[in-house]
């Protein structure tokens, strides 16, 4: 999110002397993206961020592909993923391609014994169930049901949950997560017709400086491997920072739907984008108000993109039955549309209370071995009855 922010203390000029009360220098770190050509932040640490004491053997979390090529409407029952105590162990990849990985997670315990850094992907963590605090060196962001947590690559974090009942829908993007270009002016400001604005963005607050020595385990993900690092100082030893590269959050409940006299196409629901895909938010809204409008979506042929819909809550007038946490995958190459009887039923309806997250990738998605264990094998027949 290109929005300047700062917390804590830092010198008036970059790359100049900045001393501790005892006369020692604070350690400056430039955290930059796309080389030196995109967003960055300047961070000031109590100690250099390079004090590695130990590196243990990496282990693989590479998704195991079960169905690389397919042309079949698919449904996954996401809440069949069993709750798991550990956060990293709870992450179950289900749909992947070279642009993004989609995972489900049901962690029961907060991250207290280690920290995590994804060095290859921006993460979008949608909070389906649960609440807590995202903790980083940049500050803290409280989260709750309906929040998208956007954690740019390279940021070390912990998730602290308020209880053990948590359900997460996670997108790892191998390109930066951005707001839609058509909603930004050339200064980067969200324009008046955008479905949300800067006031809706949750930025880090409550910077806590951890001036601590010890053994601090940081699990670093790169190219499908987790590398267990042990650092000699606490990773949240920031005394101050400023810039444009930091974690932030946005609530799906603050997305203002765009409606019209006739049915509006999915791009009006777009919330974020990466290279090769978009993320959309379907929220409660008034239906179309043309006197002869059909609120149910029309049949649609996916020519250039797969379509993923993650059902969060509410009723969906185009489906006969859906469950919380259900994922539908409608692959490019064949049409999909409303279930029998739902078109006629939708005529005259005034509003919907549905809540869902949609992802449209422009390269085909592959199903993992874990995904097959969640699959409803007869979903592709659901238009017959």
**Burial classification of residue 54, based on how many CB atoms lie within 10 Å of its CB (0-12 exposed, 13-18 middle, 19 or more buried):** exposed
Tell me how far apart the alpha carbons of residues 96 and 92 are, in angstroms, rounded to a whole number.
11
The answer to the question of whether 290 is labelled as a binding residue is no
Pair 72, 382: CB distance under 8 Å: no
Q: How far is CA 97 from the centre of its chain?
A: 16
Structure tokens at 199: 């006031």
Contacts of 291 (CB under 8 A, 6+ apart): none
Contacts of 219 (CB under 8 A, 6+ apart): 88, 114, 115, 116, 117, 226, 227, 228, 229
Tell me how far apart the alpha carbons of residues 340 and 345 are, in angstroms, rounded to a whole number.
10
CA distances from 66 to 63, 73, 217 (A): 9, 16, 33
Pair 343, 265: CB distance under 8 Å: no
The answer to the question of whether 336 is labelled as a binding residue is yes
Tell me how far apart the alpha carbons of residues 321 and 334 are, in angstroms, rounded to a whole number.
21
Pair 167, 176: CB distance under 8 Å: no
Phi, psi of 304 (to 5 degrees): -115, -5
Q: Which of 15, 263, 269, 353 is catalytic?
A: 263
Pair 82, 357: CB distance under 8 Å: no
Tell me how far apart the alpha carbons of residues 116 and 128 are, in angstroms, rounded to a whole number.
21
Q: Is residue 70 among the annotated active site residues?
A: no
Tell me how far apart the alpha carbons of residues 310 and 325 are, in angstroms, rounded to a whole number.
6
CA distances from 54 to 59, 229, 316 (A): 15, 6, 51
| Cβ neighbours of 346 (radius 10 Å) | 20
Supply the residues annotated as catalytic.
263
Q: Please give the annotated binding residues for homogentisate, written as ranges.
A: 336
Q: Please give the annotated binding residues, written as ranges.
A: 300, 306, 336
Q: Please give the annotated binding residues for Fe cation, written as ranges.
A: 300, 306, 336
């Amino acid at each position: 999110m290109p929005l300047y922010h700062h917390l804590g203390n830092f010198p008036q000029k970059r790359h100049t002397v900045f001393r501790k009360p005892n006369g020692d220098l604070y350690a400056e770190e430039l955290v930059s993206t796309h080389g030196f050509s995109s967003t960055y932040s300047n961070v000031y640490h109590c100690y250099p961020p390079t004090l590695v004491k130990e590196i243990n053997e990496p282990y693989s979390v590479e998704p195991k592909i079960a169905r690389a090529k397919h042309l079949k409407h698919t449904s996954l029952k996401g809440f069949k993923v069993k709750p798991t105590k550990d956060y990293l162990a709870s992450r179950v990849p289900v749909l992947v391609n070279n642009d993004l990985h989609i995972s489900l997670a049901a962690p029961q315990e907060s991250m207290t014994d280690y920290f995590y850094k994804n060095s290859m992907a921006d993460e979008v963590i949608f909070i389906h169930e649960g609440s807590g605090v995202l903790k980083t060196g940049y500050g803290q962001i409280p989260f709750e049901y309906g929040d998208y947590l956007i954690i740019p690559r390279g940021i070390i974090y912990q998730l602290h949950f308020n209880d053990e009942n948590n359900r997460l829908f996670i997108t790892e993007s191998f390109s930066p997560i951005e707001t839609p270009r058509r909603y930004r002016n050339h200064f980067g400001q969200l324009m008046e017709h955008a479905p949300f604005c800067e006031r809706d963005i949750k930025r880090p607050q409550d910077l806590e400086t951890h001036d601590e020595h010890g053994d601090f385990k940081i699990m670093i993900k790169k190219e499908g491997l987790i590398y267990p690092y042990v650092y000699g100082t606490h990773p949240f030893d920031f005394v101050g920072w400023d810039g444009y590269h930091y974690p932030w959050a946005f609530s799906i409940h603050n997305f203002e739907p765009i409606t019209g006299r006739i049915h509006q196409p999915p791009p009006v629901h777009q919330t974020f984008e990466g290279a090769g895909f978009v993320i959309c938010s379907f929220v409660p809204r008034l239906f179309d108000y043309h006197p002869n409008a059909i609120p149910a979506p029309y049949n649609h042929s996916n020519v250039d993109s797969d379509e993923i819909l993650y059902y969060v809550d509410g009723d969906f007038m185009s489906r006969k039955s859906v469950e919380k946490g259900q994922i539908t995958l409608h692959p490019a190459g064949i049409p999909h549309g409303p279930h029998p009887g739902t078109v006629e039923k939708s005529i005259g309806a005034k509003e919907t209370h549905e809540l869902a997250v949609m992802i449209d990738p422009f390269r085909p998605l592959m199903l993992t071995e874990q995904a097959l264990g969640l699959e409803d094998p007869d979903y592709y027949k659901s238009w017959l009855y």
